[in-house]
Chain A
Amino acid sequence: MAEMCSVEKRGRVYLLTLAGTDEHRLNPALLDAIRSALAGVRSDAAASGGSAALVVAAEGKFFSNGFDLAWARVSPSDRVPLMVPALQRTIADLLSLPMPTIAAVTGHAAAAGCFLVLSHDYVVMRADRGFLYMSEIDIGLPITENIMAVMRAKIADPRTRRDLLLRGKRMTAAEAAARGIVDRAVEGAAETVEAAVAMGEELAARNWDGEVYASIRKGVFREACRGIGVAVEEEEAEMKKAASKL
């Protein structure tokens, strides 16, 4: 089976790349490959001991064009209930990853693909090509609640939320950066990945405790994490942990 995604380590940064120049449509096979890669990153980081960061990138013109609707259409009533939870579990893995996460968006990210991008802590996006696009409104598909919970958490501005979700606006990196949903816009695909990796190195160099990082991220995005199925620690357990570190 051809490798759907690869992981390499550059310094302290794990670079996970969605392989191939196709649309990287999210079906259970690709999502399982990503989850497997993330599990590998998690255990490698635990074994190495030091702090790290994750960059997720993709080859070709697309970061991801969303769910594999063609695959789902073969048998919607059994395949849709497989696809949505598979995405949910992948996002849950990202939201609970014990290190900073950066999406290096070198191509189009639409619908579930756009959602995948925004589930990262940071987004570095190619300035000269590609856009973020929540296509659901144009296709005529409602958006599941667990995806919405993360979108609401990551897109606080009501107008940006409206324009992305209710107007089907295709946003370039420049516009997305101006509206605060992308952190950096960089010219060129290779340069975008380099910038993301450099950001990863910078963040890893802060030497943060990965478990604490994940715990704080879950606290910041409590509602979104609950919605997506990440176990959120109860306050008492968190306070005990904090006390033990003092």
Chain B
Amino acid sequence: MCSLEKRGRVYVLSLTGDNEHRLNADLIAAVRSALAKVRAEYAAAPNGSALVTAAEGRFFSNGFDLAWANAAGSPSASLQRLSSLVALFKPVVADLMSLPMPTISAVNGHAAAAGFMLAISHDYTVMRGDRGFLYMSELDIGLPFPPYFMSLMRAKIADPRTLRDVTLRAAKITGAEAKATGIVDSVHAGADEALQAAMRMGEELAARNWDGGVYASIRMAAFPDVCRAVGLPAEDAEQKDKTIAAKL
């Protein structure tokens, strides 16, 4: 469902198979497991690293496994299944927001709803421009956003008009539009080119040899609302001062 490899200084987490990479309990668990491995390996050998999250096929991820949720047998049971997916995915965002290294998502195709959230939970996003779009489908399906989705979007999509288009117009956003509106950092000819750009960026950032703990600390302080929304504890101010003193 997902593979993890290291190329040079860059960890590559790939959602495998030419399918929609629907986020269900199994895929979410696989992703969390991979991220835990990255974290553990970094802790054992803290050298400058980076993470690239990529996907095979035509989809980055089309969101939660709604088919599984809808097969529950009753509307209330379906709602319960969907709620469980919402709850299971939250720690993935937390894992990414606290990962001790720069993170880059390489969007190879459609990224919808939770799939879109997965993409923008990364520090950098590169996307192919020839096909695929970012899409928050919730309004079209008649679902409200989980609060942590909203928090993530408010943090990462600062322009009010773009945020409105994403959330209140359920706009399907191409790579070019995403670049123009500041949702992604760069747009590329195709999926391979996007992945290569992500790898290059990963190597470049890893080569800066940043202290992963400090990197994560600054990231979390830069986006505290998202961290709060996904249950990451705020760093104790006094503790931070002590860390600073110790590092001098």
Real binding pair: yes
Chain A positions within 8 Å of B, measured between CB atoms, are: 69, 72-73, 76-77, 80-81, 84, 136-138, 140-146, 148, 151-152, 156-159, 161-162, 165-168
Residues on A with beta carbons closer than 8 Å to the beta carbon of B205: 167
Contact yes or no, A137 B214, CB < 8 A? yes
A133 to B197, CA, bound (A): 25
Contact yes or no, B241 A144, CB < 8 A? yes
Q: Whose C-beta in chain A lies nearest to the C-beta of B156?
A: A158
Contact yes or no, B240 A142, CB < 8 A? yes
Residues on A with beta carbons closer than 8 Å to the beta carbon of B217: 142-143
Contact yes or no, B240 A165, CB < 8 A? no
Q: Give me 8 other A-B pairs in contact (C-beta within 8 A), A141-B214, A148-B224 excluded.
A: A69-B248, A81-B245, A143-B218, A143-B221, A144-B240, A148-B221, A166-B219, A167-B205
What are the nearest 7 A-B pairs in CB distance?
A76-B245, A80-B245, A140-B211, A148-B221, A142-B217, A76-B248, A73-B248
Interface string of B140-171 (1 = CB under 8 A from A): 00000000000000011110000000000000
Residues on B with beta carbons closer than 8 Å to the beta carbon of A145: 221, 234-235, 237, 240
Contact yes or no, B248 A72, CB < 8 A? yes
Taking chain B's interface residues, is the majority helix, strand, or loop, or is none over half, making it mixed? helix
B63: Cβ under 8 A from any A Cβ:
no
Q: Whose C-beta in chain B lies nearest to the C-beta of A134?
A: B218
Residues on B with beta carbons closer than 8 Å to the beta carbon of A148: 221-222, 224
Contact yes or no, A80 B244, CB < 8 A? yes
A168 to B211, CA, bound (A): 13
Residues on B with beta carbons closer than 8 Å to the beta carbon of A166: 102, 123, 215, 218-219, 222
Contact yes or no, A165 B222, CB < 8 A? yes
Contact yes or no, B245 A165, CB < 8 A? no
CB distance from A69 to the nearest CB of B (A): 6
Residues on B with beta carbons closer than 8 Å to the beta carbon of A72: 245, 248
B7: Cβ under 8 A from any A Cβ:
no
Residues on B with beta carbons closer than 8 Å to the beta carbon of A168: 208
Contact yes or no, B247 A144, CB < 8 A? no
- From A140, A146, A156, B214 is in contact (CB under 8 Å) with A140
Residues on A with beta carbons closer than 8 Å to the beta carbon of B210: 137-138, 140
Residues on B with beta carbons closer than 8 Å to the beta carbon of A144: 237, 240-241, 244
Residues on B with beta carbons closer than 8 Å to the beta carbon of A76: 245-246, 248
Taking chain A's interface residues, is the majority helix, strand, or loop, or is none over half, making it mixed? helix
Interface string of B172-185 (1 = CB under 8 A from A): 00000000001001
A84 to B237, CA, bound (A): 11
Residues on B with beta carbons closer than 8 Å to the beta carbon of A167: 205
Contact yes or no, B235 A142, CB < 8 A? yes
Residues on A with beta carbons closer than 8 Å to the beta carbon of B19: none
Contact yes or no, B222 A159, CB < 8 A? no
B243: Cβ under 8 A from any A Cβ:
yes
A-B contact pairs, 6 of them (CB 8 A): A76-B248, A143-B217, A145-B240, A158-B155, A162-B124, A166-B222
Interface string of B197-224 (1 = CB under 8 A from A): 0000000010010110011011101111
CB distance from B43 to the nearest CB of A (A): 16
CB distance from B206 to the nearest CB of A (A): 13
A73 to B123, CA, bound (A): 33
CB distance from A179 to the nearest CB of B (A): 11
Residues on A with beta carbons closer than 8 Å to the beta carbon of B215: 137, 166
Contact yes or no, A137 B218, CB < 8 A? yes
Contact yes or no, B185 A159, CB < 8 A? yes
A166 to B124, CA, bound (A): 11
Residues on B with beta carbons closer than 8 Å to the beta carbon of A137: 210, 214-215, 218
CB distance from A86 to the nearest CB of B (A): 13
Residues on A with beta carbons closer than 8 Å to the beta carbon of B156: 158
Contact yes or no, A81 B241, CB < 8 A? yes
A141 to B235, CA, bound (A): 14
A72 to B248, CA, bound (A): 8
CB distance from B133 to the nearest CB of A (A): 20
CB distance from B7 to the nearest CB of A (A): 21
